[in-house]
Structure 1
């Protein structure tokens, strides 16, 4: 049984930046997948505000 990749939405404040898998979002933004992964870490959330930080939400 195949497990499809999870889909995510990337937001900066209320603005939607991208939708897709982590790989697709990284390609759209021109960054590494590890950068997209970092947006999910609690340490990143602590360093940034809700308005200026990027938030990756699983959909």
Structure 2
């Protein structure tokens, strides 16, 4: 499963949960949380969110 990570409207990177966790120095669970509705609701353009990409 691939995700794209954004901060506000700025694209940061795309990859698997493991790749993104390593790049951003966070746990894989954190990357998964970025893709939840709760994370989207908390976002005011200043936090990272992840969007699941279908391929």
TM-score w.r.t. the length of structure 1 is: 0.75
Q: How many matched pairs? A: 53
TM-score w.r.t. the length of structure 2 is: 0.79
How far, CA to CA, are the matches of 1:47 and 1:8 in structure 2? 19
What is aligned with 1:34? 29
Please report how far the alpha carbon of residue 48 of structure 1 lies from its aligned counterpart in structure 2 after TM superposition: 2.0
Partners of 1:40 and 1:55 within 8 A in 2: yes
Give 1 or 2 for the bigger CA radius of gyration. 1
How far, CA to CA, are the matches of 2:28 and 2:19 in structure 1? 9
Listed as ranges, the gaps of 5+ residues in structure 2 are: none
Q: Extract structure 1 runs of 4+ deviating beyond 3 A.
A: none
Listed as ranges, the gaps of 5+ residues in structure 1 are: 1-5
Q: Which has the higher strand share?
A: 2
What is aligned with 1:54? 48
Partners of 2:43 and 2:49 within 8 A in 1: no
